[in-house]
Structure 1
Amino acid sequence: MVNSGHMFDDFGQAPSVSYTRPDGPVWVIGLRGDVEVDLLEEVEAATQQALDNSHGPLLFDLHEVGFCDSSLLNHLLLTSRRRQVALFGANAALRRLLEVTGAAGILPAYADLGAARSALSLPPSPDRP
């Protein structure tokens, strides 16, 4: 399991994955902090866990992400070749990155989980409204 409850890894950096969980027909992965190439391994592990344990779309929660470099964008684009991927909670800078790179057409971004579910025509999770 990726989310081990630790606040910091061995190098004193906050983990880049805050949670990963099934949510009805989707798998949601919450990211946090500045997600750069040095921290991408944790995101890759969480993504692989989701791919191995679900068959529905992957939704990435970006509301706690301040910055990401091209390595995260590349990871999301590569993942979208294997499974439907959507984002929610991205700040203005991240949304702009998606627009200027042309990734917005491949990685749709929504305000919140509910908006993502609605846009993807997914039913609400039985545990959540």
Structure 2
Amino acid sequence: MRPQLLSIEVTRPDAGHARLRLTGDLDFDTAPELLDAAARVRADGCHELTVDLGGVGLCDSSGLSAFLVLSRGGVGPLRLTGVGDRLQQLLDRTGLTELLAVERPTAGAADDVREVG
């Protein structure tokens, strides 16, 4: 199976807030793209950061590490949205749920995230 590239759509819903909508795989090869995109919006004055994971097909330990780096490296809050069941299990098992603001999708949303060991 060919890995899916990561695309990041950046929107700014209001002053000081940026939303990064991810589509594709968040893994060793693509996690640096998330870190770079977050650094750019923070350099532009966005202190509150929301990462929408609804379009992520795979998240491995590098993706989890990126969340931790973003939460500790910013001056404002990091919120994860669109978190599916499998990714939620990874966040729970690693203790990241207690460190990050995680917003679950509404009932009936599809869960396409695959776990990688």
TM over 0.5: yes
Q: TM-score, normalised by structure 1?
A: 0.70
Query: Residue in 2 aligned with 1:53?
Result: 44
Query: Residue in 1 aligned with 2:84?
Result: 91
Query: Residue in 2 aligned with 1:23?
Result: 13
Query: Residue in 1 aligned with 2:23?
Result: 32
Distance in 2 (CA, whole Å) between partners of 1:103 and 1:21 is 25
Which of the residues 59, 73, 77 maps onto 2:64? 73
Higher-RCO chain (CA-CA 8 Å, sequence separation at least 6): 2
String of CA shifts for 1:78-106, please: whole Å, max 9, x gaps.
11112221100011011111111000011
CA contact (8 A) 1:61 1:89 kept: yes
Runs of 4+ residues deviating >2 angstroms: 12-15
Larger radius of gyration: 1
The percent of aligned pairs where both chains have the same amino acid is 27
Residue aligned with 2:100, SS: coil
CA contact (8 A) 1:17 1:29 kept: no
CA contact (8 A) 1:27 1:54 kept: no
> How many residue pairs get matched?
101
Residue aligned with 2:29, SS: helix
Distance in 2 (CA, whole Å) between partners of 1:38 and 1:46 is 14
Residue aligned with 1:81, SS: helix
Distance in 2 (CA, whole Å) between partners of 1:47 and 1:94 is 20
Shift of 1:52: 0.7
Residue aligned with 1:38, SS: coil
Residue aligned with 2:73, SS: coil
CA RMSD of aligned residues (A): 1.8
Higher strand share: 2
